[in-house]
Amino acid sequence: MTQQEKILINDNDENTPFRVLVVTGEEDSSFLRKKSTDIDIREIVNPDWQLFIKRLKLTMDIESGVGIAAVQVGIARNLFLFMRLDKPENPVEVAINPRIISHPKNTICFENDGCLSVPDMSGDTFRYPWIEVEYYNEKGEKKRDILKGYSREGDFTGVVFQHEYDHLQGILYTDKLCGENDN
């Protein structure tokens, strides 16, 4: 963890949300386009990272999001939170150093993708109907799962994961919009 990351994380307590970066600000927009780097998973139990995760969850809750990436609050690291719409009670899970390890060749056009960093807008985006993923949770445990979902009419956990994963690559949903003649 860098000194700058420590300062940003510890500038407030766990009851204070982070400011979400938005594309309407030039500096914010530039930072959102940065490719994030991995976290040393042995450090994840560090109190600074645990505070970061608590504050990130609070930020996601206050903003009414279904996911949020570290880069969206100024930390360019491979970590995001995502809501498990495929599980009872829709728990929020932490994904550290996530990887998409398999997906079909075909894509679907997911309707009304939106983003906390792109306020007051939404659009239809190209997404895979399922993905096989690996990531570490906040305890440093490795997880592997197949996430599905391609419609807002039910489970779209796979789309949430893809959206947040894209943030770690410096990609916004607006880069994946379906065109009128695309299928």
Give, in order, the Cα–Cα distances in Å from 101 to each of 48, 77, 145, 157, 167. Answer: 29, 19, 10, 16, 17
Longest dimension (CA), the chain: 50
132 beta partners = 102, 146
Catalytic pick among 5, 14, 111, 164: 164
Contact 104, 97 (CB under 8 A): no
Q: How far apart are CA 90 and CA 83, in angstroms?
A: 6
Dihedral of alpha carbons 81, 174, 113, 101, sign = negative
164 is an active site residue: yes
Closest CA to 182 of 86, 106, 94: 106
Contact 110, 150 (CB under 8 A): yes
- Please give the full DSSP string across 119-177, using - where no structure is assigned: EEEEEEEEE-SEEEEEEE-TTS-EEEEEEE---TTS--HHHHHHHHHHHHTT--GGGGB
What are the catalytic residues? 164
